[in-house]
């Protein structure tokens, strides 16, 4: 009996989901991607996600989501992006978007059923679930149960290959899988180059440094700005 290798992947344009995609492909999955436009502060991460999908010849949809009621520094330009989140703190950061993964995974469930996929890949990991309740393994397990009750098809799995990895370990895995990190975008702000100061930038830069290398995205940027 052949195993069903059709899959859905949530692609954000960031580093984690890119590594998750390359991991899924390395295991023989044939992913189709969902990319979400939830009125992020900037379009850079959507463009990055589309680029990564296109690079891999994925079938993909960009889904526009209106969350007019959400107060988050990721969607509301009036709320300042602050940095300095402590990964060991259980405090939920201002970048929390209420129900974001709940909504994303709901679309993924509908999409998966429609294309006959049994696996949904998401790049959630331990450093996120310290702060975001919708990245926690308990939520992901519980949500999997719920969608299998609510769909016509049964046996859909939510796959989280990065769940217990640190950012450094995620990058190490990505390097092995030849993930084109230079095309990923992590900065919460949407400047020409990453700000280097927001939490997302800090964790990324730090992880590359731990591996003794420069972030390929920054290397590309300095190349551009130097005009070389």
Shortest approach of its own copies to residue 21 CB, angstroms?
19
Kindly state whether residue 129 participates in binding its own copies, applying the rule CB under 8 A. Answer: no
Select the residue interacting with its own copies from 43, 54, 55, 61 (CB under 8 A). Answer: 61
CB burial readout 33-56, b (16+ within 10 A) else e = bbbbebbbbeebbbebbbebbeeb
Of positions 4, 54, 55, 71, contacts its own copies by CB under 8 A: 71
> What CA–CA distance (Å, rounded) separates 228 from 217?
16
In order, the DSSP letters of 91-106 are PPPTT--TTHHHHHHH
Work out which of 22, 29, 96, 188 binds its own copies, going by CB under 8 A. 96
Site membership for its own copies, residue 221 (CB under 8 A): no
Nearest distance from C-beta of residue 71 to its own copies, angstroms? 7
d(CA 179, CA 196): 21
Residue 64 touches its own copies, criterion: CB under 8 A: yes
Question: What does the alpha-carbon distance between residue 178 and residue 196 come to, in Å, rounded to a whole number?
Answer: 24
Q: Which residue in 143, 181, 203, 208 binds its own copies (CB under 8 A)?
A: 143
Among 41, 85, 136, 204, binds its own copies (CB under 8 A): 136
Rounded Cα distance, 105 and 150, in Å: 13
The least distance separating its own copies from the CB of residue 109, rounded to whole angstroms, comes to 5
**Which C-beta is closer to its own copies: that of 136 or that of 159?**
136
Q: Using alpha carbons only, give the angle 124, 129, 131 rounded to the nearest 5 degrees.
A: 130
Burial of 123 (0-12, 13-18, 19+ CB in 10 A): buried
Binding site for its own copies (CB under 8 A): 61, 63-64, 66-71, 92, 96-103, 105-107, 109-111, 113-115, 133-134, 136, 138-139, 142-143, 145-147, 149-152
């Amino acid at each position: 009996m052949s195993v069903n290798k059709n899959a859905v992947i949530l692609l954000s344009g960031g580093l984690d989901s890119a590594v998750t995609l390359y991991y899924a492909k390395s295991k023989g999955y044939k992913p189709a991607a969902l990319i979400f436009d939830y009125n992020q502060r900037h379009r850079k991460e959507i463009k990055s996600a589309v680029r990564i999908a296109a690079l891999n010849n994925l079938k993909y949809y960009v889904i526009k989501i209106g969350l007019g009621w959400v107060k988050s520094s990721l969607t509301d330009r009036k709320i300042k992006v602050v940095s300095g989140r402590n990964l060991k703190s259980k405090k939920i950061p201002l970048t929390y978007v209420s129900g974001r993964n709940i909504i994303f995974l709901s679309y993924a469930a509908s999409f998966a059923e429609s294309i006959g996929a049994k696996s949904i890949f998401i790049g959630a990991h331990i450093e996120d679930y310290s702060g975001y309740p919708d990245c926690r393994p308990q939520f992901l397990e519980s949500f999997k149960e719920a969608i299998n009750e609510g769909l016509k098809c049964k046996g859909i799995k939510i796959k989280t290959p990065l769940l217990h990895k640190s950012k450094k370990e995620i990058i190490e895995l990505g390097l092995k899988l030849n993930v084109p990190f230079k095309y990923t975008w992590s900065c919460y702000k949407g400047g020409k180059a990453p700000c280097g100061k927001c939490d997302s930038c800090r964790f990324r830069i730090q992880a590359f440094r731990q591996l003794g290398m420069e972030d390929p995205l920054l290397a590309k940027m300095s190349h551009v700005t130097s005009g070389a």
